[in-house]
Chain A
């Protein structure tokens, strides 16, 4: 079966046991303008994030995973051009919202945690003031005292010791792990329905990353919200996500549960990626490596964008785009070799 867009949309789900789709991309396309020309980056992206789930988007640099998250927030860089499709949040198309409507949604319904906690905090305001700002915007009825106690409670909730004192400190007085906790506190201040986390632990040390991952798990259990986790680290994904998509050069190549992706990977890129990770278990021999490197946006193939690096490549692979094809319930792959069979 070939699926172009998810079959169920938020509006027509009636079964109470099936979680509804909180976020849904429908044939979304975007690119970058360079002089007169627009390079296509994200091509025909369709997927759904269900309520209460952690959805992982995995890929290497330049694959478009951060642009996917920024598209939801409508915070794309100025050279970006949205070329088509819809991004539905609670059934409403975010791409059709005015800037004023988006400002109400950002921080209240959808919040984002960025990779670099040093550059995303304002150095001239105390962290308490910055967290309080979320309340000032989205909960204008709150008084100053109430705001402060809510801020302290948030900081305590993300595991910061002495929150009363930390509240009055500036970002440079905090360690990297604490700054990321502050960012998370700010993001969850209004209990958003959707949290976008873009490489939230990548800049952190190993033992601190472990702490932050535990924190994110706890928050998910408390809030029942959904998390879209964007990362290049397959280990982080294996430990936190319910569903994963693997992205390569602006397209999804495979989608499935953690079990599908890690135990029965189908796309040659997914298999190569998993084989090239050094692990703490198993043999220590020569590491597998995928030949070549990720193409830049000017050099995408018209067909399968992974074809130039693929060992199973046929001549039609470079010409025809393989459709996302379901090979098991909930497990889809975009590949002529392992998915849909050769083009007609």
Chain B
């Protein structure tokens, strides 16, 4: 498979102003050197807890945030510094589905209007009549009825609104869909409907997904590959089955064992991590996970491990698997 998106050394720092007239001197390290390829036709899941930088990664790729450093190449072309019309043209190819279906739709626009707008802006349809037809087709594709186009968002349930959010993202016929916690706010019975819809659309439209979530059981259903982030860095990246079977990084192990299971079957011993995720302003020295790691060694405190390929396709950033130099 070819890489549709190549991310190299991507950085995003947010400056913290100390006072009104002082220069920025401290930074939140939201993304600190991300290297990953998004392969054509795959679903790459990005997993992490709050503050891991997973949402910033998605937002930086669609250029809702300006990268502080590094490169984003789309189909071989560096797009991280595009401006104006060129940046807008790129957005047709990479679209985003957001977490909160209540907050991401304009309450004053009918659903038809909200869906037609991107197509009219990008001149994908000629005139209102063609737009109306395209909207009807989009609604059908996400499992809604075409006549719903004349309703306002308040008339829809959470699951239906998320379907509208997906239809809007699909309206420009993108190649890549970035889903940021797209099923997290939904009830269980609705969540499974939307997950099935994502899988079905991927087959029908040859989409490539970057699926950002904190829920590992969801990851198992949608992913081809899984990437775990911790404090702005990738700590493990592997094909799905190898990821769940091998769990090389101690943080991955803790994350998987923390997920409560809805069954009475005896569960594996839970790894309870000590403490909380440190501040991304002054990330810990050496390995960023060393403050909470149950396997911490002396080297972890001063020496930063590198992301290394341990087995074919399985990358991990941890001193347990060699020092990485």
Residues of A within 8 A of B (CB): 60-61, 161, 175-178, 205-211, 213-214, 232-239, 258-259, 262-263, 272-274, 276-281, 284, 286-290, 293-294, 296
Known: A206-B255, A294-B187. A279 touches B272 (CB 8 A): no
> Among the interface residues B220, B261, B272, B277, which one has the most CB atoms of the partner chain A within 10 A?
B261
- Indicate whether A293 sits within 8 Å of B49 (C-beta atoms), given known contacts A61-B158, A209-B258, A214-B272: no
Contact A262 B264 (CB under 8 A): yes
Distance A258 CA – B267 CA, assembled complex (angstroms): 15
**Subset of 10 A-B contacts with CB under 8 Å:** A206-B258, A207-B272, A209-B258, A235-B259, A239-B261, A258-B264, A276-B192, A279-B220, A293-B159, A293-B160
Bound form: Cα–Cα A287–B260 in Å: 19
Which single member of A213, A262, A296 contacts B262 (CB below 8 Å)? A262
Contact of A232 among B188, B270, B273 (CB under 8 A): B188
Distance, CA A324 to CA B12, complexed state (A): 57
Determine the distance from Cα of A161 to Cα of B270 in the docked complex, in whole angstroms.
22
CB-CB under 8 A from B25, the residues of chain A are none
A293 near B190 with CB under 8 A, answer: yes
Q: Is the CB of A206 within 8 A of B158?
A: no
- Pair A238/B263 contact, Cβ less than 8 Å: yes
Chain B residues in the interface with A (C-beta under 8 A): 49-50, 157-160, 187-193, 195-196, 199, 214-218, 220-221, 244, 254-265, 270, 272-273, 275-277
Question: B188's contact among A206, A210, A263, A277, by CB below 8 Å, is which?
Answer: A277
State whether A238 and B264 are in contact (beta carbons under 8 Å apart), knowing that A278-B221, A280-B259, A293-B160 are contacts in the complex.
Answer: yes
Are A262 and B220 in contact, CB atoms less than 8 angstroms apart? no
Name A60's closest neighbour in chain B (CB-CB). Answer: B187
Report whether B263 and A262 are in contact in the complex, using a CB–CB cutoff of 8 Å: yes
Q: For A240, give the chain B residue with the smallest CB separation.
A: B260
Minimum C-beta distance from B187 to chain A (A): 4
Chain A residues near B188: list those with CB within 8 A: 60, 232, 234, 273, 276-277
Complex contact B195–A287 (CB within 8 A): yes
Q: Which residues of B contact A208 (CB under 8 A)?
A: 49, 276
CB distance from A136 to the nearest CB of B (A): 30
Set of chain B residues within 8 Å of A232, measured between Cβ atoms: 187-188
Given A262-B263, A278-B217, A287-B196, A176 contacting B50 (CB threshold 8 A): yes
Separation of A259 and B188 alpha carbons in the complex (Å): 20
Q: Determine the chain B residues whose CB is within 8 A of the CB of A214 once the complex forms.
A: 272
Q: Which of B49, B192, B218 contacts A207 (CB 8 A)?
A: B49
Bound together, the chains give a CA A211 to CA B158 distance in angstroms of 30
Residues of B within 8 A of A263 (CB): 264
Which chain A residues lie closer than 8 Å to B257 at the CB level?
210
Is there an interface contact between B261 and A281, defined as CB atoms closer than 8 Å? yes
**B49 near A277: Cβ-Cβ < 8 Å:** no
Q: Are A280 and B217 in contact (CB under 8 A)?
A: yes
Smallest CB gap from A295: residue in B: B157
Contact B264 A279 (CB under 8 A): no
B272 touches A284 (CB 8 A): no
Q: What CA separation (Å) do A61 and B190 show in the bound complex? A: 11
CA distance A61 to B161 in the complex (A): 15
Interface centre among B189, B217, B254, B272 (most CB of A within 10 A): B189
